[in-house]
């Protein structure tokens, strides 16, 4: 604790003297407006404070008071369906109180103090039981989708239950249980505070083994992310980073979504706010908003709070993971977070690293993504929870040598590379298939093989091989023209065109196309490859290429994305069509007139 | 009581360092009195104990160490607003420079504004018809959007911006509207082009102009867009008007910002621009949009739609100014030198252009059911025609397949008939879409993959398209 006076104001950074008793990363209240700030450097009794609100009008001599607490957020019922700013102030409540604009010095708890929650205690508990961090005291049905488990906070490591929880209606500040520890009796409330920069403890990390199913064909089939995995989406503006993040927030099979809008457009958050309550979870029929927490520090909100917003978001996600849920965090965009660090670093007059970013940028980024994972959570029953983190990066000019991209690629396992050219052609999602990668294929192979289709991996590898071959062939065509290709190669080009246009391309705005289940993804790719195999065989039997290019079934293939999930049998019909039509065409040839191309082939052979 | 200081210690570029100041605050407005009595304004950039760093909007020429006086005014830079600002011309700081009477302020507003709470916004969905096919059809402008024009030196961005200002309407909705025009460092002639255009069309009485010309003080440009946006916010959200804000040229604004940053010896980001350029631009671009009304589900009457114009140095889209702008704005309209050389006006290259709000601003209730799919088909077909064109350059036209040739012809017709239009040609959205369908008859039916069959049945003309020329 300490109380001092401002001596310097430079943008979001202020320096205060007389702060000898304060500690690093403690929260300070600045001026009589009581703006919230955090101590980020100490020199003797001078504290350097990053202020989370606009500092206009502040000057030397005004009072600064440190609170003795690190920057913490409140964890408890009421988080879901909320929209918070970077330091967990509820924006909807601020709107109700302050109107359209965000004013300064608003002091507001993250959780509604007056809301009542119906609490159902854990029936197995008895007074006198040994109890420890992570043990479940009871449950609250927070939304129709999500049961909020009230756990013993990690700060109470071990103790004896002296007052067991009772059924009833509680507010967040009410005590539900008492635990005797070595330090005395601890009250457990419905909520607790946790410092955002400290990751919540777990028993142990595990290797990921299940995919986070997103319904996006290019992701699930070619570049899957696991539950508890990390992924990054870098790309120039207009390539569709935000649409991908929104699609994942809508359709991925995580149970909880934490969406961090970090330094991005205000309207994008509004879009989520207006759309999610209308979107319905297919499994339960309840609005998707009921599983979502939003953190919004839009680009016009104070820059220092942007730095905090990613930590606020990931801490909320960890809290739900501790309950045993599969949680996905979307951070859009981590570049803005890095730029906020750069701005503070510049004002602290630190020696810059690459591109003016501070030298600790890579370690901060690594530390952030490393909080993801599949873990055994604290608590008796050894719950398994996962937290996946998907971060967008906005490199200047789409240049992947950007320090933020490079530092991110060092730690994440999945790279979805967005490409300008694809976006220009309105091929969405504009994920480039040649430069993207996923390092989870090995972890997930068993799942796909056993739970979806045995041939999944095989098919994916074949399709990927064809796409790589296409790139080589296109190079060749550019140099010497299409005529120089063999018929087999022409078939490959037809197939890859079909993979690109009928499989990889997926419209986020077409209700029938926005989401594809794994089995349908498999069937779609299967159809394309089946046609490919049949055509190659037909070519080997000297069927002329042009007869294979205008097969009527191709029309059906272009429409197969619209086949409803409930009618997957119709893929069998397409397979049959392929078989009969290719056979017919080959047959025509054998009985028909002499073909020029067929003749050519004979010479080549 | 205002204290006067004569304790200037250092003067460098647009900055003045003042010593022994007792009381000053960050972002405070100061008044500087030169030895000859001239008054200039500035703002506080940094306070460090008794030292205060001040940025002078009108430059430091003539400021001396001994006699110049500095007064702190205890408030930020403010703009006096009232409904009478319509039809008037102001300088970059908001002082009238036409011969009209003084503005009697209804209120004074801090030009920095406050951030809009994202929870208080309404997602923009209302289609604005600009009468320009390349915009309406493919990169649709929506009320409350911020859609910049990325241009280059010598390209007709002024003409296009003026045409949009002239023609923009929301079909079927009559409402009070106004235009706020902010000129930053542009030439007299360019500014005059707009003023004359507003006068000729009789729009002048609904226009507010903030003019900082190329030979006006550079640092004043930092305040100009903020002053203009403050006027826009007042007209939109307090007077219920639909405001179109044209800001040109943002590149000059950014250069002024760089000048201050360099004078402060800050660590530069890319190309010498300060690291906070993104945040700084965002605080302006984000002042566009629609707000919630008083009752649940209602929209507050009034809106701000922004069309910032910026010139890309060397036509480079990855230059920090267009790059950071593109990350904040909801799309971009890109003008292209090659099209311009071909004599096509407006020379909009639709492929890298984008309107992020398009998909929710168009469709059955807003424009027409087939709009989105036609647009996507035109995009992908035009992209294909460009690929074919490249191929033709390498291999010669003889090597092209029949389909390729069809696409190539389509590409030419697309540029010559769809993109190309006259300066005063105002096409309705139906005309634009009909034209699009007409062009689609030029490519094989099997290549129309982005449009549902029912729409093709309903809209694709059954005859062959008339040949080009």
Query: Chain A partners of B112 at a C-beta cutoff of 8 Å?
Result: 56
Average pLDDT taken over every residue of chain B: 92
Interface test with A, best of B119, B316, B369 (most A CBs within 10 A): B119
Q: Which residue of B has its CA nearest to A396?
A: B323
Unique residue bearing structure tokens 């990855």:
B318
CB contact under 8 A, B270 and A274: no
Return the pLDDT at B425.
95
Is the pLDDT at A83 greater than 50? The verdict is yes
In the predicted structure, residue B465 carries a pLDDT above the cut 60: no
pLDDT tens digits along A283-337:
678 898 999 999 999 988 888 888 899 999 999 999 999 999 999 999 998 999 9
B115–chain A Cβ distance below 8 A for any pair: yes
User: How far apart are the CA of B114 and the nearest CA of chain A, in angstroms?
Assistant: 6
* B1: confidence class by pLDDT, cuts 50, 70, 90: low
Distance separating alpha carbons of residues B331 and A238, to the nearest angstrom = 7
Predicted pLDDT of residue A589: 66
Buried b (16+ CB within 10 A) or exposed e, A524-549: bbbbbbbbbebbbebbeebbbbebbe
- Estimate the crossing angle of helix B371-395 against helix A456-480, to 10 degrees: 50
**Residue B261, CA distances (Å) to A48, A344, A348, B276 in order:** 22, 15, 15, 10
Confidence of residue A591 (pLDDT cuts 50, 70, 90): low
A230 Cβ neighbours under 8 A, 6+ residues apart = A369, A372, A388, A389, A390, A391, A411, A412, A413, A414
More confident residue, A601 or A104: A104
- B349 and B150 Cβ atoms separated by less than 8 Å: no
Please state the rounded mean pLDDT for residues B211-223.
Answer: 92
User: Is the Cβ pair A483, B399 closer than 8 Å?
Assistant: yes
Q: What mean pLDDT comes out for the span A370-376?
A: 96
Q: How many CB atoms within 10 Å of residue B52? A: 30
Please tell me the distance in Å from B160's CA to the nearest CA on chain A.
Answer: 22
Residue B164's alpha-carbon distances to A469, B147, B194, B198, B241, in angstroms, are 47, 12, 12, 12, 18
Cα gap A280→B334, rounded to integer Å: 38
Decide: A59 and B26 in contact? Cβ < 8 Å: yes
Q: Does B267 touch chain A (CB under 8 A)?
A: yes
Q: Report CB contact under 8 Å: B117, A91.
A: yes
Q: What value does the mean pLDDT take over residues B197-218?
A: 92
pLDDT score recorded for residue B106: 95
Please indicate whether, in this complex, the C-beta atoms of B26 and A9 are within 8 angstroms of each other.
Answer: yes
pLDDT at B303: 95
- Please tell me the total number of residues recorded for chain A in this structure: 605
Task: Convert the pLDDT of each residue in B43-55 to its tens digit.
Answer: 999 999 999 999 9
Give residue B464's pLDDT band: very low, low, confident or very high (50, 70, 90). low
Identify the pLDDT of residue A388. Answer: 97
- CB atoms A426 and B383 under 8 Å: yes
Please tell me which residue of chain B has the smallest CA distance to A332.
B327
Instruction: Name the residue among B412, B413, B417, B420 with its Cα closest to residue B344.
Output: B420
pLDDT at B141: 96
B136 Cβ neighbours under 8 A, 6+ residues apart:
B129, B130, B427, B429, B432
Task: Compute the distance between CA of residue B214 and CA of residue B202 in angstroms, rounded to an integer.
Answer: 27
DSSP string spanning B213-262?
ETTS-TTHHHHHHHHHHHHHHIIIIIT--EEEEEEE-HHHHHHHHHHHHH
Query: Is the Cβ pair B279, A103 closer than 8 Å?
Result: no
Report the residue from A15, A94, A298 with minimal CB separation from B286: A298
Lowest mean per-residue pLDDT among A506-515, A561-570, A575-584, B405-414: A506-515
* Residue contact B318–A397, C-beta within 8 A: yes
> Is the four-CA dihedral A166, A172, A174, A178 of positive or negative sign?
positive
How far, rounded to the nearest angstrom, does the alpha carbon of residue A10 sit from its chain's CA centroid? 35
Q: Write out the two tokens for A563.
A: 């086949």
Q: How many CB pairs under 8 A join A and B?
A: 206
Cβ distance of A426 and B359 shorter than 8 Å = no
* Residue B453 DSSP SS3: helix
Higher pLDDT among residues B151 and A237, named by residue: B151
Geometric angle at alpha carbon A381, from A254 and A196, rounded to 5°: 55
pLDDT in tens, B318-342: 899 999 999 899 999 999 999 999 9
Give the gap in angstroms from C-alpha A106 to the nearest C-alpha of chain B. 13
pLDDT for B15 equals: 93
- Least Cα separation, residue B159 to chain A (angstroms): 25
Which among A274, A296, A355 has the least Cβ separation from residue B269?
A355
Across the interface, do B115 and A425 touch by the CB < 8 Å criterion? no
Q: Are B332 and B271 in contact (CB under 8 A)?
A: no
CB A153 within 8 A of CB A200: no
Supply the Cα-derived Rg of chain B in whole angstroms.
Answer: 25
Give residue-wise pLDDT tens across range B68-115.
999 999 999 999 999 999 999 999 999 999 989 999 999 999 999 999
Average pLDDT over residues A27-31: 93
A-contacting residues in B 161-180 (Cβ below 8 Å):
none
What's the CA gap between B164 and A123, in Å, rounded? 68
Average pLDDT over residues B186-207: 92
Minimum mean pLDDT among A45-49, A397-401, A429-433: which range? Answer: A397-401
Integer Cα distance of A150 and A142 in angstroms = 11
Looking at chain A, which residue has its C-alpha nearest residue B356? A238
Per the prediction, chain A carries an average pLDDT of 91
Q: At residue A592, does pLDDT exceed 80? A: no
Give B230-264 pLDDT, tens digit per residue.
999 999 999 999 999 999 999 999 999 999 999 88
Query: Residue B276 has what pLDDT?
Result: 87
Residue B173 has pLDDT above 80, yes or no: no
**Cα separations in angstroms, B266 against A59, A305, B254, B255:** 21, 22, 15, 15
- A415 Cβ neighbours under 8 A, 6+ residues apart: A223, A231, A232, A234, A409, A435, A436, A437, A438
pLDDT digits (tens, 9 = 90+) for B113-129: 999 999 999 999 999 99
Rounded-to-integer distance, Cα A246 and Cα A269, Å = 10
Instruction: Answer yes or no: is the ipTM higher than 0.90.
Output: no
pLDDT at A605: 35
Alpha helices (H) in A481-569, listed in sequence order: 487-498, 518-540, 545-549, 553-559
Report the run of H or E that residue A579 belongs to, with start and end. helix A570-591
Using CA atoms, how far apart are residues A32 and A61, in angstroms rounded to an integer?
A: 11
pLDDT for residue A601: 40
* B174 min Cα distance to partner chain A (Å): 25
pLDDT at B391 over 90: no
B279 contacts A263? CB cut-off 8 A: yes
């Amino acid at each position: 604790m300490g109380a001092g006076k401002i001596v310097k104001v430079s943008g979001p950074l202020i320096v205060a003297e007389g702060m000898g008793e304060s500690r690093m990363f403690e929260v300070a209240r600045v001026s009589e407006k009581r703006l919230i700030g955090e101590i980020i450097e100490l020199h003797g009794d001078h504290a350097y404070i990053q202020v989370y609100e606009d500092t206009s009008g502040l000057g030397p001599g005004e009072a600064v008071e440190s609170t003795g607490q690190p920057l913490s957020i409140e964890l408890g019922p009421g988080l879901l369906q909320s929209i918070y700013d970077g330091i967990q102030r509820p924006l909807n409540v601020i709107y109700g109180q302050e109107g359209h604009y965000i004013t300064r010095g608003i002091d507001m708890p993250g959780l509604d103090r007056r809301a009542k929650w119906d609490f159902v205690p854990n029936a197995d508990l008895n007074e006198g039981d040994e109890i420890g961090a992570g043990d479940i005291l009871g449950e609250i049905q927070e939304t129709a989708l999500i049961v909020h488990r009230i756990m013993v906070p990690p700060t109470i490591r071990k103790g004896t239950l002296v007052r067991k929880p009772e059924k009833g209606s509680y507010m967040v500040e009410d005590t539900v249980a008492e635990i005797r520890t070595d330090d005395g009796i601890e009250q457990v409330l419905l909520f607790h505070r946790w410092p955002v920069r400290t990751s919540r403890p777990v028993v142990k990390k595990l290797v990921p083994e299940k995919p986070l199913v997103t319904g996006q064909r290019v992701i699930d089939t070619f570049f899957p992310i696991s539950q508890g995995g990390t992924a990054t989406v870098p790309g120039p503006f207009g390539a569709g980073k935000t649409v991908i993040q929104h699609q994942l927030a809508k359709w991925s099979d995580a149970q909880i979504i934490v969406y961090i809008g970090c330094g991005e457009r205000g309207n994008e958050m509004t879009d989520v706010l207006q759309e999610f309550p209308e979107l319905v979870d297919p499994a339960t029929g309840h609005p998707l908003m009921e599983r979502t927490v939003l953190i919004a520090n839009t680009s016009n909100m104070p820059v220092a709070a942007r730095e905090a917003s990613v930590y606020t978001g990931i801490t909320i996600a960890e809290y739900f993971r501790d309950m045993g849920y599969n949680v996905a965090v979307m951070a859009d965009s981590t570049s803005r977070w890095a730029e906020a660090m750069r701005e503070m670093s510049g004002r602290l007059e630190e020696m810059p690293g690459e591109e003016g970013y501070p030298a600790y940028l890579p370690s901060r980024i690594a530390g952030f993504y490393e909080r993801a994972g599949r873990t055994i959570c604290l608590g008796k029953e050894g719950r398994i929870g996962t937290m996946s983190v998907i971060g967008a990066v906005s490199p200047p000019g789409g240049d992947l040598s950007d320090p933020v991209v490079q530092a991110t690629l060092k730690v994440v396992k999945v790279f979805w590379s967005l490409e300008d050219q694809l976006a220009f052609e309105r091929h969405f999602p504009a994920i480039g298939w040649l430069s993207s990668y996923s390092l989870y294929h090995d972890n997930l192979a068993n799942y796909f093989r056993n739970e979806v289709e045995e041939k999944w991996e095989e098919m994916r590898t074949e399709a990927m091989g064809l796409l790589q071959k296409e790139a080589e062939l296109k190079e060749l065509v550019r140099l010497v023209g299409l005529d120089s290709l063999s018929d087999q190669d022409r078939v490959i080009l037809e197939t890859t065109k079909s993979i690109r246009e009928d499989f990889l391309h997926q419209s986020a705005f077409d209700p029938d196309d926005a989401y594809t289940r794994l089995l349908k993804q498999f069937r779609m790719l299967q159809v394309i490859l089946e046609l490919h195999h049949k055509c190659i065989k037909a070519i080997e039997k000297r069927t002329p290429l042009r007869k294979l290019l205008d097969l009527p079934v191709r029309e059906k293939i272009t429409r197969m994305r619209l086949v409803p999930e409930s009618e997957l049998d119709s893929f069998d019909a397409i397979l049959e069509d392929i078989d009969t039509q290719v056979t017919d065409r080959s047959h025509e040839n054998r009985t028909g007139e002499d073909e020029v191309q067929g003749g050519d082939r004979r010479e080549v052979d | 009581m205002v204290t006067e200081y004569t304790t200037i210690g250092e003067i460098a570029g647009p900055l003045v360092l003042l010593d022994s100041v007792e009381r000053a605050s960050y972002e405070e407005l100061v008044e500087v009195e030169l030895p000859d009595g001239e008054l200039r304004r500035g703002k506080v950039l940094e306070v460090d104990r008794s030292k205060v760093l001040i940025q002078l909007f009108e430059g430091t020429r003539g400021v001396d160490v001994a006699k110049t006086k500095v007064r702190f005014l205890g408030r930020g830079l403010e703009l006096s607003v009232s409904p009478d600002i319509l039809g008037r011309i102001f300088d970059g700081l908001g002082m009238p420079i036409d011969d009209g009477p003084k503005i009697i302020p209804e209120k004074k507003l801090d030009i920095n504004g406050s951030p809009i709470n994202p929870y208080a916004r309404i997602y923009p969905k209302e289609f604005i018809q600009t009468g320009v096919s390349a915009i309406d059809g493919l990169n649709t402008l929506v009320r409350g959007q911020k859609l910049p024009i990325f241009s280059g030196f010598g390209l007709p961005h002024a003409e296009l911006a003026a045409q949009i200002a002239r023609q923009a309407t929301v079909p079927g909705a009559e409402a009070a509207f106004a235009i706020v025009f902010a000129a930053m460092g542009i030439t007299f002639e360019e500014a005059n082009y707009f003023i004359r255009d507003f006068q000729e069309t009789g729009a002048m009485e609904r226009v507010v102009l903030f003019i900082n010309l190329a030979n006006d003080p550079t640092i004043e440009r930092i305040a100009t867009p903020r002053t203009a946006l403050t006027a826009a916010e007042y007209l939109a959200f307090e007077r219920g008007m639909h405001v179109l804000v044209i800001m040109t040229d943002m590149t000059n604004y950014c250069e002024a910002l760089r000048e201050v940053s360099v004078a402060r010896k800050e660590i530069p980001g890319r190309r010498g621009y300060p690291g906070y350029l993104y945040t700084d631009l965002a605080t302006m671009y984000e002042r566009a949009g629609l707000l919630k009304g008083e009752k649940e589900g209602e929209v507050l009457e009034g809106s701000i739609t922004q069309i910032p114009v910026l010139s890309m140095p060397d036509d480079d889209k990855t230059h920090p100014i267009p790059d950071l702008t593109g990350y904040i704005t909801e799309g971009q309209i890109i003008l292209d030198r090659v099209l311009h050389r071909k004599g096509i006006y407006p020379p909009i290259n639709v492929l890298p252009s984008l309107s992020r709000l398009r998909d929710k601003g168009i469709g059955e209730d807003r424009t027409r059911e087939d709009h989105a799919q036609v647009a996507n088909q035109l995009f992908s077909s035009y992209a294909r025609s460009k690929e074919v064109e490249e191929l033709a350059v390498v291999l010669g036209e003889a090597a092209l397949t029949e389909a390729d040739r069809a696409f190539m012809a389509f590409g030419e017709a697309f540029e010559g008939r769809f993109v190309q239009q006259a300066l005063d040609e105002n096409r309705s959205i139906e005309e634009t879409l009909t034209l699009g369908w007409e062009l689609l008859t030029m490519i094989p039916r099997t290549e129309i993959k982005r449009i549902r069959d029912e729409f093709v049945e309903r809209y694709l003309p059954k005859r062959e398209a008339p040949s080009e020329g």
